[in-house]
A = this chain, B = another copy of it.
Amino acid sequence: MSEAAWRVIAREGLDRASMRAIAQEMDCTTGVVTHYFRNKQELILFALHQVTERLRGQMDVAITNLSGVDRLVAMLLSFLPLDQTRQEILQVWVAFLGYAVGRQDLMVEHRHSAGELRKVVIQELAALQKQQIIRSDIDPAIEANVLLALVNGISLDTLIQSQPLDSKQQKIALQRYVSGLLNH
């Protein structure tokens, strides 16, 4: 069920992910869809929460058994659309963001989602700073924004540029920026 909704959104965008389109995707009638999602609003919010959960999942897997800078880099790399799974996540993420323009309630929800990930990055930066791995003149709260901005920007690059960075170049760009935060 939720898989079908996810697929339609990733493939067609949010405005064309109608109740009927999702019903058709799972080869049933709209009765099923309305039974699980009372509103279209609920459906849309579900998509956003899926984005957050999946990103968190990707991240948790990526950073296990890592520490130090490697851990930070792995964390940030896990957000990049390096495989088809994460490209789908990006599609839904962008679709939601565009759909939230002019809908303040949805934008607030999106900010909550982004805030969760930001918190994790801040903690990681603070920890690395305590270990004196990254420079002491860095404000974790601010640097988290910049790091996420770079990650989001690189992700968007794959969508909006006709000659986007390939996966190797994406990694290098991120790695190089992070290395500029280190001590020495």
Contacts and interface: CB of A to CB of B under 8 A. Distances in A.
Given A98-B101, A159-B107, A165 B153 contact: no
Interface in A40-98: 91, 94-98
Contacts of A141: 163
A162 interface: yes
Number of chain copies forming the complex: 2
A101 B159 CA distance: 9
A98 B13 contact: yes
A161 B114 contact: yes
Interface stretch (A28-36, A125-133, A142-150): A142-150
B159 A97 contact: yes
Interface residues of A, number: 48
Interface of A is mostly: helix
Contact of A97 (B94, B142, B165): B94
B153 A13 contact: no
A103 interface: yes
Nearest to A165: B145
22 contacts: A14-B101, A15-B99, A91-B102, A95-B98, A96-B98, A97-B97, A97-B98, A107-B159, A142-B165, A145-B157, A145-B161, A145-B163, A145-B169, A146-B154, A146-B173, A148-B153, A149-B156, A149-B157, A150-B150, A153-B154, A153-B156, A177-B177
10 closest A-B pairs (Cβ-Cβ)? A98-B98, A153-B153, A149-B153, A13-B102, A12-B102, A95-B101, A13-B101, A111-B162, A15-B15, A152-B153
